[in-house]
Amino acid sequence: MSFYEQILKSMFPKDWEQSHQKILNRLFYTPFRWSVSTDEDRYMDAMAFRQRFSIRTEHEANVLEVLLSLSSKYLFEVDGDDSLENAAKLVIELLDNSGLGVEDTYANDFNIEDKIYRILDREYDARGNGGFFPIPDGVEKPDQRRQPIWLQFHDYMSAKTIDFYPFADPFCL
């Protein structure tokens, strides 16, 4: 079984995985690139993530691996959750945020690839709309295009918590 098949079979719900093959395939075969220097750490996290699958490969880390390793790392740091299935659920949410969560019947390879590269090139607005980590209106955060991915992710999750619990301190939840 290939590394790609291992990821799909062990993490994503079968019905979701089957209806989103084009998107998952393109995310897997698109190398991750970064423009903010500390995002290289996310690349290295993705390379380390492969160890969970006992995979040894010289291929570059790809966008899907970065999203999965980022989600997995965040969930583990926040509540000790080491579940690959929960990391995949979070990735599905991030794909929905970006517009990449559409079923294959509504997507074509060119649109998928264009959207992925627009996100990698940070061609989304200052609030993160059009990317993986949009910040809701009314929540003040720095320009997401200039933030490292790890901080964008934290800003998104803390804003989501504030939006759900408007009077709560997200670091106390």
User: How many domains does the chain fold into?
Assistant: 1
- The confidence score (pLDDT) of residue 10 equals 82
What Cα–Cα distance (Å) separates residue 149 from each residue in 33, 99, 122, 134, 139?
12, 18, 10, 12, 18
State residue 162's pLDDT score. Answer: 56
pLDDT digits (tens, 9 = 90+) for 80-90: 987 888 999 99
Helices (H) and strands (E) in the chain, counts: 8, 0
Q: Torsion over CA of 123, 125, 131 and 135, rounded to 10 degrees?
A: 160
pLDDT less than 50: residues of the chain: 163-173
User: What does each C-alpha distance from 104 to 16, 76, 83, 107, 159 come to in angstroms?
Assistant: 10, 31, 26, 5, 30
Predicted TM-score (pTM) of the model is 0.87
70 lies in which domain range?
Answer: 3-172
